[in-house]
Amino acid sequence: MNRLTAAEQHHILAALRSPQYCDLAPAQVWARLLDDGIYLCSIRTMYRLLAAAGENRERRGQRTHPAKRKPELIARRPNEVWSWDITKLQGPQRGTFYHLYVIIDIYSRYVVGWTIAATETGALAEALIADTLTTHGIEPGQLALHADRGTSMTSKPVAQLLVDLGVDRSHSRPRVSNDNPYSEAQFKTLKYCPAFPGRFGSIADARTFAIMFFDHYNHVHRHSGIGLHTPASVHYNTAATIDTQRAATLNAAYTTNPARFRHQRPTPPALPTAAWINQPTPATLITSE
C-alpha cells in the first residue's frame, strides 16, 4: 500500500520540525534530505502533513519591520521645530537638475536657511544645517529637526551633526506624504510662483532667482496660516505690534461706517498659538507643556 503509516507521518513531521529544518520550506527540506541520501516522501506530502497539523504557514525566518512611529511635533514659538527637504530644479538641458535645499521654521513659516548645489549629498546637507543652526543661535535641547527619509536626510553626517549639537531628529514615515507638510507646501509656493521659470539656464540663474524669491517669501508674502503676517514678522516677534496697528485701522473704519460691518466690530486675523506636524495626542500635549 502507498499510504503512510502513523509512525512514518510522525517521523516526517519530526524532521520538518527539527532545529535543522524548521525554518525551511518543504521543497528545501526534501532537496537537502535527498542530497544526504534520504527519501521520506514527496514535497506535496510534506505540505499535506503540515496542513493537517495546522502548520501550513510561512516557515522561513524573516526579518521583521516594525511599524514606523508617527512623528508628533509641536511648536509654540519660533526655533522649536524646523522642517527641511530637497527639491529638484530643471537645468538648461533635459536630465540636468540643480538641487535646492530648504529649511523652514514650522511656527513662523520663515525660511531659515537654503542652498542650491549641483548634487545631493549628506555632506552638503550637513554643512547647510550646521551653518543655519549657528546663524540662528540654536542651543542644545532647543530644536527638533524634521525631514523625510531621503538618503541625505538619513545620512550619517547629518545624524552625527544633530547628535553632537543636541538637536532632536525626526523623520516621516515611509510612503506617508503628509508627514512633512510645511516643506511640501513651501515648495509648491515656490514652483507655482508666476515668476518661476520652467528651466534655469545655469546654477547661477537658479541662485539669483532663489535670492529674490526667499526675500519676498520671508519679508513680503502674507501667509494665511499665520494670521496674514509675513514669516519674518512672526519669526522676529513684530507681529503683535503689527496687529495693534491693524486693529486701530479697523476700529477707525468701523467708527466711520458701522453699517458697512453690519455693526460687528472687526478684528485682525488671529495668530495661531501652535503649529504641529501630526497634531499630538492629548497626553503628548500635557507632557510637553
DSSP string, the chain: --SPPHHHHHHHHHHHHSTTTTTS-HHHHHHHHHHTT---S-HHHHHHHHHHTT--S--S-----PPPPPP-EEESSTTSEEEEEEEEEE-SSTT-EEEEEEEEETTT--EEEEEEESS--HHHHHHHHHHHHHHTTPPTTS-EEEE-S-TTTT-HHHHHHHHHHT-EEEEPPTT-GGGSHHHHHHHHHHHTSTT--SS-SSHHHHHHHHHHHHHHHHHTPPBGGGTTB-HHHHHTT-HHHHHHHHHHHHHHHHHH-GGGGTT----PPPPPS-EEESPPPHHHHHHH-
Average the pLDDT over 197-206 and give the result: 94
Q: Pick from 244, 239, 265, 241: which is nearest to 253 by CA?
A: 265
Is residue 178 over pLDDT 80?
A: no
User: The whole model's pTM is what?
Assistant: 0.74
Summarised one tens digit per residue, pLDDT across range 4-42 is: 898 999 999 999 988 888 888 888 889 888 888 888 898
Is residue 116 over pLDDT 90?
A: yes
Query: Which carries the bigger pLDDT value, residue 81 or residue 31?
Result: 81
Is residue 126 over pLDDT 80?
A: yes
Is residue 2 over pLDDT 80?
A: no
Is residue 167 over pLDDT 60?
A: yes
What pLDDT does 285 receive?
Answer: 47
What pLDDT does 288 receive?
Answer: 45
C-alpha cell at 151: 538618503
Is residue 211 over pLDDT 60?
A: yes
pLDDT above 70 covers what percent of the chain?
92
What pLDDT does 256 receive?
Answer: 92
What pLDDT does 173 receive?
Answer: 86
The rounded distance, in Å, linking the Cα atoms of 127 and 109 is 22
Report the greatest alpha carbon distance in the chain: 108
What pLDDT does 68 receive?
Answer: 66
Query: Which carries the bigger pLDDT value, residue 269 or residue 68?
Result: 269
pLDDT above 90 covers what percent of the chain?
63
pLDDT band for 280, please (50, 70, 90 cuts): confident
pLDDT band for 144, please (50, 70, 90 cuts): very high
Average the pLDDT over 109-122 and give the result: 96
Average pLDDT, the chain: 89
What pLDDT does 120 receive?
Answer: 94
Average the pLDDT over 206-231 and give the result: 95
The rounded distance, in Å, linking the Cα atoms of 154 and 18 is 41
What pLDDT does 3 receive?
Answer: 83
How far is CA 146 from each of CA 20, 44, 119, rounded to the nearest angstrom? 45, 52, 21
pLDDT band for 287, please (50, 70, 90 cuts): very low
Query: Which carries the bigger pLDDT value, residue 282 or residue 176?
Result: 176
Q: Pick from 279, 239, 289: which is nearest to 70 by CA?
A: 279
Strands 81-90 and 144-147: parallel
Please tell me the least confidently modeled range out of 64-73, 242-251, 258-267: 64-73
